[in-house]
Amino acid sequence: MDDYQLVKDCLKWKPEAQQRLYELYAKSMLTVCYRYTKSLKDAEDVLQEGFVKVFFGLKQFRFEGDLGAWIRRIMVNTALNFLKRNSKYRNEMFFPEQVLHPVADDNPAVILQAKELADLIRQLPHGYQTIFNLYAVEGYTHVEIGEMLGISDGTSRSQYARARALLISWVEEMSLDKKNKSYAGK
């Protein structure tokens, strides 16, 4: 079944079509939701809320782009709304307007496994993590991020730069730890 027919059947509230749509996208969208939350339980809550929005909003899908990208955008927006209305996240979403020191643009010569990098990103302070995910993973511009989070694009840029600098320092630290361990084993 192609996306067009799947959407049309979902709009007719056919349970098998809704189940198919969910099965096609739930796993990848759970990953998206998890990037913005502190726990799998919260990510599952966001996913469920997001799919409710998807099913009720399908009439707005115009087939002008990829269905998965449209669903992903809904999931990201649902996750951001979840963060804003939950106190355990809201307190960490404060973005002070501060001037940032320049960040070195050199990348450490370290090959990280995707899991290691994802784990490091999740260790970032939540505000940094959110902006890093929106910019580096989702591909939003700083202007778009500013509009989404109610901050200036300059604040988005500085938070991203801070997150990036912190990640670089952690990666460099990991690299040194790995080198030291390999020397110790010789």
Domain CATH code at residue 133? 1.10.10.10
Q: CA 66, 70, 73: angle at the middle one, nearest 5?
A: 140
Q: Are residues 81 and 30 in the same domain?
A: yes
Q: Tell me, yes or no, whether 119 and 59 share the same domain.
A: no
Tell whether 8 and 74 lie within a shared domain: yes
Q: Which two tokens stand for residue 25?
A: 């996208």
**61: three-class secondary structure by DSSP:** coil
**Interval 72-76 mean pLDDT:** 96
CATH of the domain at 63: 1.10.1740.10
Same-domain status, 7 and 84: yes
Same structural domain, 131 and 180: yes
Using a 10 angstrom Cβ sphere, with 0-12 exposed, 13-18 middle and 19 or more buried, the burial of residue 33 is buried
Q: Is residue 124 classed as helix, strand or coil in its secondary structure?
A: coil
Q: Does pTM top 0.85 for this prediction? A: no
Distance of CA 186 to the CA centre of its chain: 41
- Residues 63-88 as b or e (16 or more Cβ within 10 Å = b): eeeebeebbbebbbebbbebbeeeee
Name the packing angle between helices 153-184 and 142-149 (round to 10°): 110
Q: What is the pLDDT of residues 88-125, one digit of tens each?
A: 665 555 544 443 333 333 444 344 566 788 888 888 99
Same domain, yes or no, for 73 and 130?
Answer: no
- Site of tokens 């010569």: 109
- Among 88, 103, 122, the domain boundary falls at 88
Q: Are residues 82 and 39 in the same domain?
A: yes
Domain with 18, as residue range(s), is: 3-88
Nearest to 80 by CA among 136, 133, 137, 156: 133
Domain count across the chain: 2
Same domain, 69 and 120: no
Inform me whether the pLDDT recorded for 152 exceeds 60: yes
Helix (H) or strand (E) holding 135: none
**Tens of pLDDT, residues 7-37:** 999 999 999 999 999 999 999 999 999 999 8
Domain for residue 23, yes or no?
Answer: yes
Which residue, of 88, 123, 141, is where some domain finishes?
88
Q: What is the pLDDT of residue 93?
A: 52
Q: Is 128 in the same domain as 178?
A: yes
Instruction: Please indicate whether residue 182 or residue 50 has the higher confidence score (pLDDT).
Output: 50
Position 103 in a domain: no
In a domain, 77, yes or no: yes
- Domain boundary residue among 88, 122, 138? 88
* Shared domain check, 7 and 74: yes
Q: Tell whether 96 is covered by a domain.
A: no
The pLDDT value recorded for residue 90 is: 58
Does the residue 166 lie in any domain? yes
82 with 132, same domain: the answer is no
